[in-house]
A = this chain, B = another copy of it.
C-alpha cells in the first residue's frame, strides 16, 4: 500500500541506486516486504516524477552507468507527512490459514508437508533475526537513531517464533485428525488448473 514510502524510508539511510535498493530492501524492510527490482525501478521513476527523489547519473567505466537516487527535501517532507497519518493494521492473509479453515474438504498429507516446510522456514528466519540482533545490538539497546531497527528485529523475531511454534501445534493437532483421513487420490483431470 505504500511501496513508494517504503522506498523513501530506505533512502533516508543513504542515497542509492535502484540496483542497490533492490538488494538492500531484502536485508532490511524486505524482511517483511517483498519487492522485486522491476517494482522498485517503476516506483523510483514515479517518485522522481513527483519530485520526491532525484536521480544523479554516475558515469562508471567498467559497468553501465548508474543512477543514484537521493531523497529530496520534498520527499523527506512527504515521508514525514505520510508517517504522521494513522496506520491501518495489516491483514495476515496467509494461504495456510484458508486451507486450515477448509480442513475437512482438503487432503491433509500435503497440508502436513506444507506445515513442516513452513515451520522450518519460520524457524530459520527466527534464528536469523536472533543472530542479527545479537550482532547489531548485543546490549539489547540501541542508539536513538537505531531504536526503530531494533524494534523491527524484535517484532520479526517474535513473529517468526510465534508462527513456528504454532506450526508445531498445528502439526500435533493434525496428527490427531489424520487417523480418520479421507485418503482419496487427487484428480488432475477433467478441468483445467486455474486459480
Q: Which residues of A contact B (CB under 8 A)?
A: 1-2, 4-6, 8-10, 12, 28-29, 32-34, 50-52, 74, 76-107, 110-111, 113-114, 117-118, 121-122, 144-145, 147-152, 154-155, 158-159, 162-163, 166, 169-170, 173-174, 176-177, 180, 186-188, 190-191, 193-195
Min CB–CB distance A193 → chain B (angstroms): 7
Given contact pairs A4-B195, A151-B100, A89 touches B94 in the complex (Cβ within 8 A): yes
Min CB–CB distance A159 → chain B (angstroms): 7
* Chain B residues whose C-beta falls within 8 Å of the C-beta of A29 in the assembled complex: 97-98, 101
Nearest CB in chain B to that of A166: its residue: B155
Q: List 6 A-B contacts (CB under 8 A).
A: A1-B93, A1-B95, A74-B191, A103-B147, A103-B148, A151-B170
Given contact pairs A12-B102, A104-B145, A173-B150, A159 touches B92 in the complex (Cβ within 8 A): yes
* Chain B residues whose C-beta falls within 8 Å of the C-beta of A84 in the assembled complex: 106-107, 110, 186
Nearest CB in chain B to that of A106: its residue: B83
